[in-house]
């Protein structure tokens, strides 16, 4: 039994009469109107604007604080031929912001270059040493994008040395602002902007619009990437930018982006906000995390096809490296937690030699795995300093927890859900104690689960492909505009199976009350939860959303499960359905006992087993005691398995049941097939069996495996003889019932065994195995 990861909150729906009225007023589909009305879009105007974003809906850029002043200074610099530096940031929002501003100033004829700070040497935001170098190199104006408001020291330095700084930023405003020439910010206290949730790319795009005196539609693709990557609200003006930006991304001619699509395996025609979030943004972020971010701007702005290809390949390789580092460090961090018995309210994990650029991602992974706030630090043995990142949960304000203990920290900054910090290694236990005490004061242990809004209950099979098109009109989904999630009803689970290379995903085959079969998938499930589900799938409850599944050119509805829970306690013995069709090395990495029914298969596999694993033959081996028993191959006789399971003591039984041929699918030969083969061998004396096997099978329209079996039967009753490898038919002296042969009986028994072990529903097979061990 296990609970859901989130609290399922059924959204209060609008009154049916109100929905009906809005449908009549807008002429929009009822499904979309009902969902929007429940989210507060309760007038025809609001619904129309939401469903049909237009450029005209963008706000006047000059409503932003200091926009007019900023444009005047930038245009003056262009007119006077001053050197302009666009000072950006190394993440996807910063790279796209830089690209937008850089392209806009080039269009206006500016003498412009860009500078992307190095995460590891320059840090985030304005750096006084860098500013000093830029000024020495002749910079007459510095324009920041996606940073600046927290860089008081560097900005004031530039102003004091006769170089104006124009800040365009969207981050939290400090109490004391820099003495910049102009500060363009959607939350500036002196000028309220109609939409305060712009990303750095959004602010840069608005500035470019003001400078160019028109909306630069060719830059909407960059604005969309930056907006989605920075996880800002996808409502209001951001919804317009991303909706229209996705259209540009689907048609973009930026050669760097096109090469990046190819490397990422992205279908340009179907790019969505999810594509940005899971394919494009992580690759751009990989640059700044592992090396330097500047090549990202070059990739987005270059016209050199050869250079674009080189940069796209560089981005791809760094992303692969990032994934490997994250996986490796996450594994080491989880092992450290396990060794320390994971007794703290907040995870503080310190390792040596971990790459600082990926520690924030690792912290997020550990939060997902443990449900606890997590800080991941990498210690430098030379300095004794441990530096890294933290990620939190809604119930724990990470910034508040550490802000009052800066005397124990070398450096610190962040907000409720994330932080960056450096501590002395010797202070680790003290910081851990502080975190646990603060978590206790914030009552983290008794905090409610994070809430998951459920749009409503839907009978399985009622949502069609047409409904998917209606729901797609609500895209782009993201922060502030979550994809609608539903609780499905009136179905039964036909099968529940693991899937994926590591068997860490779940696939359900559901049957609606009308008999329609629909698949449902859940990605990233732990082995223990998966085992429990496979044993009692009909006790499973889940929520999710419908998606389109395309297979062999045919489309169907598939459910993507978002959260699930199991409502009944499970037996002590876990039986895990991992049935396979081929043997691969990665199947044999865990310690345990690997059981085989065929000695030939054991001989093939044994050399790949880990040193702490054991290989045995069943049913010869008696009294098996182990934590994990792997049933590798499929027995020929079900009674051999029954006999073996009666003497097993195990915590987990893994059913692999490898088989070379699925005899249950091939079946038993028909009488007419026996007759055709017999006539053939009588007519062709001295057949070279090996050389003619394929030709005979093709001519008689039989599978090779079935034909070999039929020859075994013939040989048993004397219908064929073999001399020097040649087969000759023998005329029958009397009538023989081939079904009474021992070969036929053995085959029939093997077919029945495979029907049960290979084709039974997962839940039924699990219960059968549990019964045999009981």
Residue 172 pLDDT: 87
Q: Is residue 720 a contact partner of residue 727, using CB atoms and an 8 Å limit?
A: yes
pLDDT of 504 over the 90 cut: no
Which residue shows structure tokens 């009803």?
489
pLDDT band of 526, cuts 50, 70, 90 = confident
pLDDT of 437 over the 60 cut: yes
Q: How many CB atoms lie within 10 A of CB 470?
A: 18
Q: Is residue 322 a contact partner of residue 416, using CB atoms and an 8 Å limit?
A: no
* CA–CA gap between residue 295 and residue 740 (Å, rounded): 76
Provide the whole-model pTM.
Answer: 0.75
- Say how many CA atoms lie within 13 Å of 743 toward its Cβ: 16
Q: Where do runs of H (alpha helix) occur along 90-185?
A: 92-107, 128-136, 152-160
Residue 450 pLDDT: 86
pLDDT of 569 over the 70 cut: no
pLDDT of 40 over the 90 cut: yes
pLDDT of 444 over the 70 cut: yes
pLDDT band of 774, cuts 50, 70, 90 = low
What is the average pLDDT score of the chain? 92
* CA–CA gap between residue 453 and residue 563 (Å, rounded): 11
* CA–CA gap between residue 180 and residue 163 (Å, rounded): 10
| Mean pLDDT of the region 508-536 | 87
Residue 317 pLDDT: 97
| Mean pLDDT of the region 320-341 | 89
Residue 342 pLDDT: 66
Torsion sign, CA atoms 234, 237, 241, 243? positive
Residue 680 pLDDT: 92
Residue 242 pLDDT: 98
Q: Is residue 14 a contact partner of residue 31, using CB atoms and an 8 Å limit?
A: no
> Phi and psi at residue 76, in whole multiples of 5°?
-65, -45
CB under 8 Å to 557, separation ≥6 — which residues?
Answer: 463, 464, 465, 468, 518, 546, 547, 548, 549
Residue 236 pLDDT: 96
pLDDT of 146 over the 90 cut: yes
* CA–CA gap between residue 296 and residue 647 (Å, rounded): 62
Of residues 693 and 614, more confidence is placed in 614
pLDDT of 484 over the 90 cut: yes
CB under 8 Å to 727, separation ≥6 — which residues?
Answer: 681, 686, 687, 689, 711, 720, 721
* CA–CA gap between residue 58 and residue 153 (Å, rounded): 34
* Burial category of 382 from C-beta neighbours within 10 Å (exposed 0-12, middle 13-18, buried 19 and up): exposed
Task: Give the architecture-level CATH label for domain 61-317.
Answer: Alpha-Beta Complex (3.90)
* CA–CA gap between residue 557 and residue 577 (Å, rounded): 25
Residue 673 pLDDT: 92
pLDDT of 237 over the 70 cut: yes
Residue 525 pLDDT: 87
Tell which CATH classification among 3.40.50.11540, 3.10.310.30, 3.40.50.970, 3.60.9.10 matches the domain 340-441.
3.10.310.30
pLDDT of 494 over the 60 cut: yes
Q: Among 277-291, 455-469, 528-542, where is mean pLDDT lowest?
A: 528-542
pLDDT of 406 over the 70 cut: yes
pLDDT band of 693, cuts 50, 70, 90 = confident
In the chain, where are the structural domains located? 18-57, 61-317, 340-441, 576-660+754-773, 664-740
pLDDT band of 570, cuts 50, 70, 90 = low
Share of the chain above pLDDT 90, in %: 72
Tokens of 132: 């000093």
Of residues 281 and 5, more confidence is placed in 281
| Mean pLDDT of the region 404-429 | 91
pLDDT band of 175, cuts 50, 70, 90 = confident
Q: Give tens-digit pLDDT for 200-222.
A: 999 999 999 999 999 999 999 99
* CA–CA gap between residue 1 and residue 546 (Å, rounded): 26
Q: Is residue 217 a contact partner of residue 248, using CB atoms and an 8 Å limit?
A: yes
Whether CATH 1.10.3210 fits 664-740: no
pLDDT band of 227, cuts 50, 70, 90 = very high
* CA–CA gap between residue 283 and residue 287 (Å, rounded): 7
Encode burial over 129-148: b for 16+ CB neighbours within 10 A, e otherwise: ebbeebbeeebbbbbbbbbb
| Mean pLDDT of the region 572-584 | 85
Highest mean pLDDT out of 167-176, 548-557, 764-773: 167-176
Nearest to 562 by CA among 495, 674, 483, 632: 483
* CA–CA gap between residue 678 and residue 684 (Å, rounded): 10
Highest mean pLDDT out of 41-55, 413-427, 461-475, 744-758: 41-55
Length of the chain: 774
The residues that bridge with 523 in the sheet, in sequence order, are: 505
pLDDT of 746 over the 60 cut: yes
pLDDT of 527 over the 80 cut: no
pLDDT band of 149, cuts 50, 70, 90 = very high
Residue 547 pLDDT: 93
Share of the chain above pLDDT 70, in %: 99
| Mean pLDDT of the region 686-695 | 84
Helix (H, G, I), strand (E, B) or coil at 174: coil
pLDDT of 572 over the 70 cut: no
Tell me the C-alpha to C-alpha distance, in Å, between residue 649 and each of 624, 625, 695, 746. 6, 5, 50, 30
Residue 52 pLDDT: 97
* CA–CA gap between residue 318 and residue 302 (Å, rounded): 19
Residue 197 pLDDT: 96
* CA–CA gap between residue 274 and residue 280 (Å, rounded): 9
* CA–CA gap between residue 405 and residue 725 (Å, rounded): 86
> Phi and psi at residue 743, in whole multiples of 5°?
-60, -45
| Mean pLDDT of the region 182-186 | 98
Q: Which helix (H) or strand (E) holds 454?
A: strand 451-454
């Amino acid at each position: 039994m296990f609970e859901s990861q989130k609290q399922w909150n059924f959204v209060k729906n609008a009154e049916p009469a109100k929905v009906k009225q809005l449908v009549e007023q807008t002429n929009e589909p009822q499904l979309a109107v009902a969902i929007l009305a429940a989210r507060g879009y309760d007038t025809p105007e609001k619904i129309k604007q939401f469903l049909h974003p237009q450029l005209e809906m963008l706000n006047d850029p000059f409503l932003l604080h200091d926009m007019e002043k900023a444009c005047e200074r930038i245009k003056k610099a262009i007119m006077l031929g001053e050197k302009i530096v666009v000072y950006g940031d190394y993440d996807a929002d910063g790279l796209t912001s830089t690209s937008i501003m850089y392209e806009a100033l080039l269009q206006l004829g500016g003498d412009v270059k860009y500078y992307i700070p190095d995460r590891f040497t320059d840090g985030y935001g304005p750096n006084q040493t860098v500013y000093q170098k830029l000024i020495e190199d002749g910079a007459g104006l510095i324009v920041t994008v996606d940073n600046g408001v927290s860089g008081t020291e560097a900005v004031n330095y530039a102003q004091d040395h006769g170089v104006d700084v124009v800040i365009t930023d969207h981050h939290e405003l400090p109490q004391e602002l820099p003495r910049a020439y102009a500060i363009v910010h959607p939350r500036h206290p002196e000028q309220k902007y109609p939409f305060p949730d712009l990303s750095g790319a959004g602010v840069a795009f608005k500035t470019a619009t003001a400078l160019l005196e028109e909306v630069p539609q060719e830059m909407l693709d960059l604005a969309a990437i930056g907006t989605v990557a920075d996880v800002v609200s996808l409502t209001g003006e951001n919804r317009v930018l991303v909706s229209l930006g996705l259209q540009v991304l689907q048609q973009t001619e930026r050669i760097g982006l096109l090469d990046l699509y190819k490397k990422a395996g992205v279908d340009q025609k179907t790019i969505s906000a999810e594509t940005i979030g899971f394919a494009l943004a992580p690759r751009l972020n990989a640059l700044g995390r592992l090396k330097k971010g500047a090549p990202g701007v070059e990739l987005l702005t270059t016209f050199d096809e050869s250079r674009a290809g080189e940069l796209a390949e560089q981005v791809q390789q760094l992303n692969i490296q990032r994934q490997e580092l994250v996986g490796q460090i996450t594994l080491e961090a989880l092992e450290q937690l396990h060794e320390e018995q994971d007794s703290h309210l907040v995870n503080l994990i310190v390792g040596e030699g971990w790459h600082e650029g990926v520690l924030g991602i690792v912290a997020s992974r550990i939060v997902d795995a443990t449900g606890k706030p997590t800080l991941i630090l990498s210690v430098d043995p030379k300095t004794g300093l441990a530096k890294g990142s933290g990620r939190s949960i809604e119930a724990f304000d990470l910034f508040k927890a550490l802000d009052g203990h800066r005397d124990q920290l070398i450096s610190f900054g962040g907000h409720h859900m994330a932080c960056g910090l450096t501590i002395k290694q010797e202070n680790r236990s003290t910081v851990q104690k502080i975190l646990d005490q603060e978590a206790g004061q914030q009552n983290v242990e008794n905090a409610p689960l994070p809430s998951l809004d459920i749009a409503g209950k839907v009978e399985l099979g009622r949502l069609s492909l047409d409904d998917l098109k209606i729901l797609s009109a609500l895209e782009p989904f993201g922060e502030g505009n979550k994809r609608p999630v539903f609780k499905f009803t009136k179905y039964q689970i036909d099968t529940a199976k693991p899937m994926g290379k590591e068997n860490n995903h779940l696939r359900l085959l559901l049957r609606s009350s009308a008999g329609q079969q629909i698949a449902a998938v859940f990605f990233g499930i732990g082995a223990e939860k998966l085992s429990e589900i496979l044993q009692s799938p009909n006790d499973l409850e889940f929520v999710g959303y419908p998606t389109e599944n395309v297979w062999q050119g045919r489309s169907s509805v598939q459910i993507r499960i978002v959260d699930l829970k199991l409502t009944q306690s499970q037996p002590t013995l876990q039986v895990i359905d991992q049935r396979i069709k081929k043997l691969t090395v990665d199947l044999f990495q865990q310690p345990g006992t690997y059981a085989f029914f065929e000695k030939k298969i054991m001989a093939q596999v044994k050399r790949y087993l880990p040193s702490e694993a054991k290989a045995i033959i069943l049913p010869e081996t008696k009294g098996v005691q182990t934590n994990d028993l792997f049933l590798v191959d499929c027995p020929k006789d079900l009674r051999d398995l029954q006999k073996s399971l009666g003497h097993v003591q195990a915590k987990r039984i893994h059913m692999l049941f490898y088989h070379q041929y699925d005899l249950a699918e091939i079946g038993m030969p028909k009488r007419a097939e026996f007759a055709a083969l017999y006539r053939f061998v009588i007519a062709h004396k001295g057949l070279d069996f090996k050389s003619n096997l394929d030709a005979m099978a093709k001519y008689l329209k039989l599978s090779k495996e079935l034909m070999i079996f039929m020859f075994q039967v013939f040989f048993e009753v004397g219908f064929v003889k073999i001399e020097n490898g040649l087969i000759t038919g023998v005329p029958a002296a009397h009538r023989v019932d081939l079904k009474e042969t021992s070969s036929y009986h053995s085959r029939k028994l093997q077919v029945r065994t495979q029907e049960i072990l290979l084709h039974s529903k997962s839940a039924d097979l699990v219960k059968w195995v549990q019964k045999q061990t009981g």
